Every structure is written in C-alpha cells, then in structure tokens.
Structure 1
C-alpha cells in the first residue's frame, strides 16, 4: 500500500492560511449591537459571558438535527449577524430540556436565549405563519394535554 499524497498547499492547516480566511473585524460598534441587546433584554442573560466552549452543543440531545449549534447561534448574535442567527433552525428545534444550561460553565440559561430568539422572530410583522387561537376547531383545546399546550404554544405564539 503506497502512502497517500500530501495535501495541496491550500488545504494544509497552518496559522497563516486560516488567518487569511477568517477576517472578522471586532469593534465596539459591531459587537455592542442592537440585535444582541434585544436578545439580552428579552432573555435576561449576559451573552457576552459566553466564551464558546461548545459544552451546550455537546450536551444537546437534538443537536444532530440543528444546522448550527447553540454556541454558534450565540456567536452570530454577538457579532450582530441577525439574518444568520434567525435564519437557522436551532432555536426552533430546541426542546428546552435545560441540558445546555446545566453544562454551561458561565451559568448562561441558553434555553432562555433560544426562547428569546423565537420571540424575536415571532414579533416580526412580516411573519404569516403565526398560530391563532380562533383557527382551532371547537373543543380542540380542551383535549390537548396541559404540558403539550404550554410547551407547544410557548414556542409558536407571539
């Protein structure tokens, strides 16, 4: 068996290569943005305490179905990348099981941050897929188990 050929120069992992690829300028203006402030206000959590350890994503039981992990959504939020943060399915798939919160070394309630992101999306005026109570058939709400009612509608009502 012959050894595999070396990687092309552009695929080798070197500090200089990655440094040229990842150019995000962090300034006070783009880090302290209105989007991050809004999410912090709704959630009551200090997102700037997150140092991207990834424990929340590693412990998440539904992370396999998420486009990006919870820690990456927090990073998007901190960088002011509102479209990227709100354009992924991460906070919609969040089961609010609090596994991420229990694993966070900084004590951030990440499930609450995911709820805040859902709230931001649902408060946008252009959303047409809200669930409206009058649209349910008569007698439907009496048959729904209470836990399903509370957790389901908490996610989908604004």
Structure 2
C-alpha cells in the first residue's frame, strides 16, 4: 500500500463518526502489520462502501475494496462480526440511509 496518511479518505467518509478506527488509521495499521487489531475493529462493518474514500484518495488506493476484503476474510473464517442485532434501535435511526442499504450485502460471504 502506498498510503501516506493525508486523511482524505477519513475526511470524506460519511460513516467515520461511527467507526472505532477511521479509514486512514486502518490503512496505517495494515501497513504496520497490525492486521489482528484491524479485525477487532468495527470499521469494516460500519463502512457503507459508498466509494467516497476511494475516489478522494490521491494515491488511488481503493480503500472501499480493502474494507470489503477485510469483511470477506472475517466471514470466511467464521469469526464473530458486528451484527445489526447488536446495534441499538436509537443508534440505527441515527445512521445515514446508505449504511442501512449496504448492511445486508456485507453480511453475505
């Protein structure tokens, strides 16, 4: 990865406020080999895959594809992941609509 931590991905992300690790932090952690720590975060599940991060990246890193790949790895390992049942109704009502639209697709390996 060529990420130099400009932060454009995180600044453009409509879901960043709901993530425990913002997209630029995930990219940095992956570069540092902190993959297991990234898998523990909710970021890949909160990502709406709206592609704003990928479009805004000056290094043309497809951040959304990285998030999708992380989700697929977790699903294929049959590890625990963030399910909609774990999110309170009040919190769901706060989420942007794109998050709810994208959520069903994410849960399928």
Larger Rg: 1
Deviations 1:70-89 (A, max 9, x none): 11111111211122111111
Q: Between Structure 1 and Structure 2, how many residues are aligned?
A: 92
Does the 8 A contact of 2:48 with 2:103 survive in 1? Answer: no
In the superposition, the TM-score normalised over structure 2's length comes to: 0.74
Structure 1 residue 67 corresponds to structure 2 residue 47: no
Q: Matched residue of 1:49: which SS?
A: coil
d(CA) in 2 for partners of 1:91 and 1:51?
A: 20
Q: Deviations over 1:85-112 (max 9, x none)?
A: 1111111111111111111001111111
User: Any gaps of 5 or more consecutive residues in structure 1?
Assistant: 1-47, 131-147
Instruction: Return the match for 2:2 from 43, 49, 61.
Output: 49
- Structure 1 moving runs of 4+ over 6 Å: none
Aligned partner of 1:102 among 42, 52, 55: 55
Q: Name stretches of at least 5 consecutive residues in structure 2 with no aligned partner.
A: 84-100
Question: 1:71/1:129 Cα in 2 relative to 1: closer, same or farther (>3 Å)?
Answer: closer
Aligned positions of 1:14-25 closer than 5 A: none
Provide the alpha-carbon RMSD of the alignment: 2.1
Say which SS state the counterpart of residue 6 (structure 2) adopts. Answer: coil
CA deviations over 1:36-60 (Å, ceiling 9, x no partner): xxxxxxxxxxxx2111111100110
Which of 77, 85, 88 aligns to 2:30? It is 77
